[in-house]
Amino acid sequence: MEVIAVANQKGGSGKTTTSINLSTYLALRGKHTLLIDLDPQGAATTGLGIDKWSLKKTIYNTLIGDLSLVEVTLPTKIGGLDLVPTNIDLSGAEIELVSQLGRETILKHKIEKLRDYDFVIIDTPPSLGILTLNSLVACSTLLIPIQTEYFALEGMGSLPIMRS
């Protein structure tokens, strides 16, 4: 199973668009794919036609509670593409996880228990907080979408993974 995080600390860089399009492409190519919406704004959830305001279980319940990823996963209208949805509740996870031991590995351990997917794509928030750190620890591949302009490149220098 390939785990791909789509991350950039800058908002509006195309993280969600890349995550949705890549996930859809892989599913249409016959790869069983899971998209994890790890951004409290929930744009990937909405983008795949899920009403985030009516959700009873989300990625928040997996990171903070005892639910597995399978228990919060929803099918989408695209065959072969499943979604772990989110909503604004996830914004509280940053604060709730601060004092938890091993907080940066929670998502990795949850993903390791999955068996049915060829690809897991993680759409991250525009920050370098605990949620993004969880995705970086969990992934085997990192995609960093950026706009081809000076200020977008200037901001990349502050990413810890980019420093030598």
Q: pLDDT 10s per residue in the chain (164 long)?
A: 999 999 987 667 778 999 999 999 999 999 999 999 999 999 999 999 999 999 999 999 999 988 999 999 999 999 999 999 999 999 999 889 988 889 999 999 999 999 999 999 999 999 889 999 999 999 999 998 887 766 656 655 555 554 44
Residue 84 φ/ψ, nearest 5 degrees: -100, 105
Query: Given this model, what pLDDT does residue 100 score?
Result: 86
List the domains of the chain with CATH numbers: 2-162 (3.40.50.300)
Query: Given this model, what pLDDT does residue 150 score?
Result: 67
Query: Given this model, what pLDDT does residue 151 score?
Result: 65
β-strand pairing of 119-123 with 141-143: unpaired
Query: Given this model, what pLDDT does residue 160 score?
Result: 54
